[in-house]
Structure 1
Amino acid sequence: MLRTVNRVLPGLAGLVLVVLGGSVLAVGLGVRPPTWWIHDGRHDVLLADGDRTRWRDEGWWWPAVVAVLAVAVLFALWWLAAVLRRPRLAEVLVDTGDGEGALLRGRALEDALTAEAGALRGVRGARAALVGRRSAPEARVRLQLEPHADPGETLSRLTTESLAHARDSAGLTSLPAEVRLRAARHGPERVN
């Protein structure tokens, strides 16, 4: 739902701005507007003299307006880049050995890696994500360890078992991984 709203609302806002801007341009070029439109004709202005010159004597006004608009444009560009960027790998190219390739959904490999890493002894919770290119994926694994777990042993088992199974099942030559370990906190226990 959030993804839909994140794409539909800016699209509608852009459409409204394009329609309003296009209509102002059309009226300025001589197209006769309808009677209910916000300005009457070619020589009508959007901002009257009183509105435009109200802050003219204040030296800070126009630089402030330009600065606010520049920040708004930079924010809009940053937001657009964040929306268009794919943080996760959608698919992984699997070598089938016959000169052709197959595509494996990245989410399926992430789910398998998460399940296998979560089943390791001493792991309370796991989360895996694939990043990089589809021909050379990289794994980012986060593990929440039980208080009694040995981080070295858990990392060794993750490398030799879970990551090795994921690499072998996808037919990859290598699967570099960034692993973050976090110890689980536990509260005091009541003794009767």
Structure 2
Amino acid sequence: MLRTVNRILLGLVGLVLLAAGVGVLAAVPPLGGRHAPLLAEQTRREHWQAEGWWWWAVAAGLALCVLLALWWLLAQLRRPRLPSVLVDTGDGAFAVLRGRALEEAVAAEAGALHGVSRCRVVLRGRRGAPSLRVALELEPYAVPADALAALSGPVLGHARTSAGVAGLPAEARLRVHGHRARRVT
């Protein structure tokens, strides 16, 4: 989602800059020269200082731009991966399971499934409620339903047990690995 927001934001900034550039270029002849300001002092006094709402609207627009820029910056700094998971040990204490260790274990187990050529796993969510995003690259001969059943059965079952959570939601994305056609001679 962040990639989509970045593209939309970049497109909007580009459109605003393009519109501002075209507007300035279209208004060049009436400006009165290269060194003349865009708004003459008389125009500013007559049109904009008399309007009390104008400066409030400018201040509100700038404040909104600053808030949106801060939101965007915080979204860029947010980590997409979960660094660790809290595991209840049963005696009232908690153990910490590294997120990378769980990702690597699930990736190794899912990568060993029949017909899977490559697997990537990302642990997401909160420490108490983790979730997985699994990307499986399948061989051309693999049956996607079988790979998905094996992933959702024993692989995620082992991950749930090791993480100590009752439910471990997972999003699986399957992609078939392309191959070259054989040459016939």
TM-score range for the pair, normalised by the shorter chain length:
0.5 to 0.7
- Is 1:170 aligned with 2:163? yes
- Is 1:153 aligned with 2:146? yes
Separation in structure 2 between the aligned mates of residue 165 and residue 178 of structure 1, nearest angstrom: 16
More helix by share: 2
- Is 1:188 aligned with 2:181? yes
Separation in structure 2 between the aligned mates of residue 145 and residue 157 of structure 1, nearest angstrom: 13
- Is 1:55 aligned with 2:38? yes
- Is 1:87 aligned with 2:89? no
Gaps of 5+ in 1: 1-51
Amino acid at match of 2:129: A
The ranges of structure 1 where at least 4 consecutive aligned residues each deviate by more than 3 angstroms after the TM superposition are 69-76
Q: CA RMSD in A?
A: 2.8
Q: How many residues align structurally?
A: 136
Separation in structure 2 between the aligned mates of residue 189 and residue 72 of structure 1, nearest angstrom: 57
- Where does residue 110 of structure 1 map in the other structure? 103
Gaps of 5+ in 2: 1-34, 49-53
Separation in structure 2 between the aligned mates of residue 71 and residue 100 of structure 1, nearest angstrom: 45
Relative to structure 1, is the Cα distance of residues 71 and 183 closer, same or farther in structure 2, using a 3 angstrom cutoff? farther
TM-score normalised to structure 2 length: 0.64
Secondary structure in 1 matching 2:97: strand
Deviates more, 1:70-79 or 1:116-125: 70-79
Q: CA deviation at 1:183?
A: 1.3
Q: CA deviation at 1:191?
A: 3.4
Separation in structure 1 between the aligned mates of residue 124 and residue 158 of structure 2, nearest angstrom: 18
Q: CA deviation at 1:145?
A: 1.0
Deviation string 1:121-158 (CA, Å, 9 cap, x unpaired) is: 10111111111111111111111111111111111111
Amino acid at match of 1:54: P
Separation in structure 2 between the aligned mates of residue 183 and residue 71 of structure 1, nearest angstrom: 45
